[in-house]
Amino acid sequence: MTEMVPTRAAGLAAMQAFIPAMGRRYENGRNYDHGPGQHKAVSMLSPYICRRLITEAEVVTAALDAHGPEDAEKFIEEVIWRGYHKGWLERRPQVWDSYVQGLNTDLMSLKRDRRLRRDIALAETGQTGLDYFDTWAQELVETGYLHNHARMWFASIWIFTLGLPWRLGADFFYRHLLDGDAASNTLGWRWAAGLHTRGKPYPARAQNIDTFTDGRFTPKHGELAQVEQGLEASEPDGLPTVQPLCKMHEAQTDLPTVLLITDEDCLIEDFDHAHLDLQCAATLSCSHLRSPLQVSEHVYAFETGALADAALRSNLDMMHLKATEPSVLADWAAKAGAKQILTPYVTHGPLRDWFNLAEPYLVERGVTLCEQRRAWDEAIWPHATAGFFKVRKQIPRILEQTIGMEQR
């Protein structure tokens, strides 16, 4: 597999190269996992989109221009899935809080339970004896990527065939995926477990794996668990109620301001800050917040490169911060004489948790955290309250609002 270069230029080049395949070729081939170095039917743009080195709107516009709305329909839907996941978790932040609490409990069990430690180690190092599962585990660790269909099979096998705690599997993915984000990762594992779409777990089936790996793997008869029931009994109260979207503080033009770039959104030039009294700017690394366990060096390297590229493109003098002590932001802003920090909106996940810890220090220093949300998110998130179908029905309106679909 060719190493992904974490720059906007590399993301745009990768997008340009995939444009011819964004239509029917994508629809017909997207479910096939041909293995490392052979993922030709899928774009592999997700690490760039995840950090918004390139944006969803740019990618969708390219697909529409090349193939039109009918032939590009499936590709566009898959791009919008990420926005759906983000919005769903914004509307039910309790699910993220529950994941964090449950993961900490599972990690405590891991320390106490020798057999569980052994079984987790075998799964994560690809030594379970299930050749397909072991191959995917090794590909994930070695490359930071896994085909989406393989992610679904892997999660199902982890939960139902190997009988391992789902949050430890989600944490394994989050520590290694270059495109890992809190919403897509957490909800993807919950979906496989039957917790997202209640009572509908995802079964990994031998025939499906054989077909969509093009015969690379053929699980033996009886090797995979027969999945008849998900884990919904572990959450007897069901899904939490939908919450309103978080309100944001709007930056004031007459206050001294500092600009903060995180890997939540590295396309800072899309945001207008020319009218602000800008004192200085900084990047903030936060990949280490993904897990209490060791995060992959691939993830660290991609974040470091993406932030460096954003800083270079900004044409601003930029310092670098790390999300360690929650007082870091307040100390930096106060030293610069700033009264507000401006940053692209940070969704629910580990960085938002860290921002919440930083809030009292900011208040103490008289500093306000101001955020800006993209039109893409504003168009999708109000509809992300149930299943994807509700968002899917709104796709024409979403495209009209975000890329002027009616004028195309």
| Residues 344, 362: Cα–Cα separation, whole Å | 17
Res 406 pLDDT > 60: no
Spatial separation of the C-alpha atoms in residues 32 and 56, rounded to whole Å: 23
pLDDT at 405 over 70: no
Judged by DSSP in three states, 225 sits in coil
Looking at the domain that runs over 95-234, which CATH code has it been given?
A: 1.10.579.10
Instruction: Report the alpha-carbon distance of residue 125 to residue 212 in Å, rounded.
Output: 23
pLDDT beyond 50 at 407: no
Asked whether the beta carbons of 403 and 57 are under 8 A apart, the reply is yes
pLDDT of 404 reads: 81
Model confidence at 408, pLDDT cuts 50, 70, 90, reads very low
Residue with tokens 């009988």: 163
- Answer yes or no: is pLDDT of 168 > 50: yes
pLDDT of res. 272: 86
pLDDT at 315: 86
Q: In angstroms, how far is the first alpha carbon of the chain from the final one?
A: 36
Q: Is 1.10.10.10 the CATH classification of the domain at 256-373?
A: no
- How far is CA 75 from each of CA 21, 57, 61, rounded to the nearest angstrom? 9, 13, 11
Q: Can you state the percent helix, strand and coil of the chain, rounding each to 5?
A: 55, 10, 35
pLDDT number for residue 147? 97
Number of CB atoms found within 10 A of residue 189's CB: 29
d(CA 192, CA 91): 20
Tokens 């070695």: give the residue: 142
Look at residue 23 and tell me whether its pLDDT is greater than 90: yes
Nearest to 55 by CA among 380, 397, 392: 380
| pLDDT (0 to 100) of residue 2 | 60
Per-residue pLDDT of 92-137, as tens digits, reads 999 999 999 999 999 999 999 999 999 999 999 999 999 999 999 9
| CA 163 to each of CA 116, 123, 254, 322: distance values in angstroms, whole numbers, following the listed order | 10, 11, 57, 37
pLDDT tens readout for residues 297-318: 999 999 999 999 999 999 888 9
Structure tokens at 74: 């499936």
Neighbouring residues of 28: CB distance < 8 A, sequence distance ≥ 6: 41
Token digits of residue 305: 């490169």
Provide the residue ranges of all domains of the chain, joining segments of one domain with +: 8-90+379-407, 95-234, 256-373
| φ, ψ (nearest 5 deg) of residue 253 | -70, -20
The set of residues, in sequence order, having a beta carbon less than 8 Å from that of 156 and lying 6+ positions away, is 192, 201, 202, 203, 204, 227
Tokens for 149?
A: 């269909």
- Summarised one tens digit per residue, pLDDT across range 352-398 is 999 999 999 999 999 999 999 999 999 999 999 999 999 999 999 99
